[in-house]
Every structure is written in structure tokens, then in C-alpha cells.
Amino acid sequence: MEVLEKLEYNKILEKLAVYCSTELAKEKALNLGPSTKTEEVQKLISETTEAVNLIYRCSTPPKIEFEDDKYGIKKLENSGVLSIKAILNFTKILTIAQEQKSYFEKDFIDNAEYPILTDMFSNLYTNSGITQKVKKCITEEITIEDNASKNLLNIRKKQKNIEQEIRQKLTNMIHSANYAKYVQESLITIRNDRYVIPVKEEYRTQVKGFVHDFSSSGSTVFIEPIAIFDLNNEMADLKVEENIEIENIIAELSNLFYPYVEEIKRNIEILANLDFIFAKALYAKEIRGK
């Protein structure tokens, strides 16, 4: 240990870890210790040499970034329903696996020159059916797309139609001669998931409806006019239907991954190793190591 400290070995590992994209690879880098086993040393040198040569041959491979979601893996192993975040993460792992295979599977690459890397790349599992299905259903903003199912599309169309009807009725109301003086400002807002209008406190009894909130000063009362009560109820019912349908979609997407949990686990291991190996190669290039 004293020798390693004098050599500033930990600083070297920290520099190596900078080239890693995944936490798993960084962990490997920071825990990399000297070895006295000839075979192990030769393998580590060989895999780094192969990666350096491949970078010169094909440029740097696509970045490997994903989360090591152990909880999500447990869910898969027990056929549980995944979170949207976990579904996207496992989809990303499959997508990265495809990107890595595409990077390596070029006609001008002679696999015989890269025996270690060939074995790793060839064992990556891909599934375009799953990745396409998930990308069709979930946006990058982690929301469920309207077209994720016909039922969801119909529900959201109804929601938009009812919302338009509510807004039209409220707009007509707050701009009418009868109500204009009662309204604090010409604004339609939402309180407790219900559409309301801001009414001056002194006129609250002039607007028939249900009080949902008050302004901090108490000068404004947010009232749901009786005229839109039934429409707000319809919106509430549709929201429940929407949530149920979203739960069904998430369960269906989770089900896609169940048969491939072992393949996903293997991908995680291989991708973390590739991230680590190419980090060594990039560091070797920087210091012109061999």
C-alpha cells in the first residue's frame, strides 16, 4: 500500500474513472488493483490493446450511459409492474446494445483481430420490437403518448372536447354584462382539479356555484359555477378512466421485458465492461500508453 501511495496510484484510478460513463464502470476503475496473476494481467492488457486498435480503426464507440436499476431487475424477476422510468431505462439498455453491435459489426473489421471484444459484442442482446413499442408509447418527457392505445386516444379526445366546452362557457360568462363586474380578472383557472373563475369576495353570493379556494389576501374567491358542474364531473370521471388505462399500458409494457430479464442482466454486465475497457483505451491514448 505504501508503494501505491508513493506512485499516486489512486490518482491514476481517479483519472481513469473520468473516462467511464456508467457508475458500474467507474466502480470497476476505482477498485482496480495490481495483480500478480499472469493470465489476468495479460487479459487486461489484451482487452485494452484491442480497444485502442478498434478506436483507431473505427473511432470512439457510442457512449454507454444507463442506470444500474437493481430494484427494477427485482421487479422483472418477480413479474412486477415497472415504473415508467424503469421501462425507459431497460429500453435504453437494449438501444445501447444495438448501437454497440452496429458500431462493431462492420465489413472492414476482422473479428480475428479482436477476439475478446468480438465475444463481448456478439453476446449483447437486442430487441427492436420492444424498443419500438416503448418509444411509440412513452415520450422522452416520461409521459404516455395519446396513441399508446386506442382507448387512451378516445379518452383524451373526449377530455379535450369537454375542456373546450367548459372554457367556452366560462369565457362567455366572465365577459357577459351580467358577470363582468363580479369577476376579479378575466381568467379561467383550476382548483382541486375543477375549472373555476376568480370572483371578488364581496360578490361571491352573486355567482351560483361551489367555492374551492380563496386568494392569500382573501379578496378573491375561486368559484366553480353551477353551469359547468356536470362537465367538471365528466372530466373527473375521464381522469379516472385515463389513469386506469395508463396503468394497463404500463403493465403491458412491463410484460414485454419479463421473458428477457437474464438477457438484460447480461447486457448490463457486458456494457459496463465495455465502458470500462474503452475508458482504459481512451486513457491509454491520452498518455500514449501501450
Q: If you average pLDDT over residues 88-107, what whole number do you get?
A: 95
The C-alpha cell at 127 is: 430487441
**pLDDT score of 3 more than 70:** no
- Return the pLDDT at 182: 87
- Return the pLDDT at 6: 57
Q: How would you write the chain as a 3-class SS string?
A: CHHHHHCCHHHHHHHHHHCCCCHHHHHHHHCCCCCCCHHHHHHHHHHHHHHHHHHHHHCCCCCCCCCCCHHHHHHHHCCCCCCHHHHHHHHHHHHHHHHHHHHHCCCCCCHHHCHHHHHHHHCCCCCHHHHHHHHHHECCCCCECHHHCHHHHHHHHHHHHHHHHHHHHHHHHHCCCCCCCCECCCCCEEECCEEEEEEEHHHHHHCCEEEEEECCCCCEEEEEEHHHHHHHHHHHHHHHHHHHHHHHHHHHHHHHHHHHHHHHHHHHHHHHHHHHHHHHHHHHHHHCCC
- Per-residue confidence band for 10, with pLDDT thresholds at 50, 70 and 90: confident
Of the chain, the percentage scoring pLDDT greater than 90 comes to 76
* Digit-coded pLDDT (tens) for 263-287: 999 999 999 999 999 999 999 888 8
**pLDDT score of 94 more than 90:** yes
Residue ranges covered by each domain of the chain:
2-145+246-287, 150-231
Residues contacting residue 176 through CB under 8 Å, at least 6 positions apart = none
* Digit-coded pLDDT (tens) for 141-169: 789 999 999 999 999 999 999 999 999 99
What does pLDDT average to over the chain?
Answer: 92
The CATH label, of 3.40.50.720, 3.40.50.2300, 1.10.1420.10, 1.20.272.10, for the domain at 2-145+246-287 is 1.10.1420.10
- Return the pLDDT at 132: 96
Tell whether the torsion through CA atoms of 271, 272, 278 and 282 is positive or negative.
positive
